[in-house]
Amino acid sequence: NAGVTQTPKFQVLKTGQSMTLQCAQDMNHEYMSWYRQDPGMGLRLIHYSVGAGITDQGEVPNGYNVSRSTTEDFPLRLLSAAPSQTSVYFCASSRAGAPQETQYFGPGTRLLVL
C-alpha cells in the first residue's frame, strides 16, 4: 500500500494562476479531507468528503474547490491563486464510522504564491 500520496511536493505559482493539488489513497477509505498549515496556526480544515460525490466545506474553504468522483481521488483546485494561499497543504483519509478511526496523512504539498 502506498497510503496517501500527494503531488506535487512543491509548487510556485504567480498570483492569478490556477492549479490542482492531487491526492490519492489506496486504502479504500470513505473519508478524505484537505488541510492547510500556516506558521503558528496548526492545521485548518479546507474541505472534506464522506464518499464519492459528496463534499462539504470546512473552516477555511474560500478560494478552493474540490470534487470526489472516485473513492481514491480527492483533488483540491485553486481557481485564482493569491499570496494568502501560500501554505503547506495536507490531504488525509480515514475509514468511515466512529471517532477512533485514525486519519492517515499524505506527505504534504508546499505551495508558494508570488
Where does this chain bind another protein (CB under 8 A)? 31, 33, 35, 40-45, 48-50, 56, 58, 88, 90, 92, 94, 96-105, 107-108
> What is the closest distance, in whole angstroms, from the C-beta atom of residue 26 to another protein in the complex?
18
Q: Residue count of the chain, please give it.
A: 114
Tell me the three cell numbers of residue 63: 478560494
d(CA 109, CA 80): 17
Quick one: 27 or 50, whose CB is closer to another protein?
Answer: 50
Quick one: 14 or 42, whose CB is closer to another protein?
Answer: 42
> What is the closest distance, in whole angstroms, from the C-beta atom of residue 69 to another protein in the complex?
17
> What is the closest distance, in whole angstroms, from the C-beta atom of residue 102 to another protein in the complex?
5
Task: Tell which residue, 2, 8, 84, 11, has the closest CA to residue 46.
Answer: 84
Q: Is 46 left (phi over 0), alpha (psi -120 to 50) or beta?
A: alpha
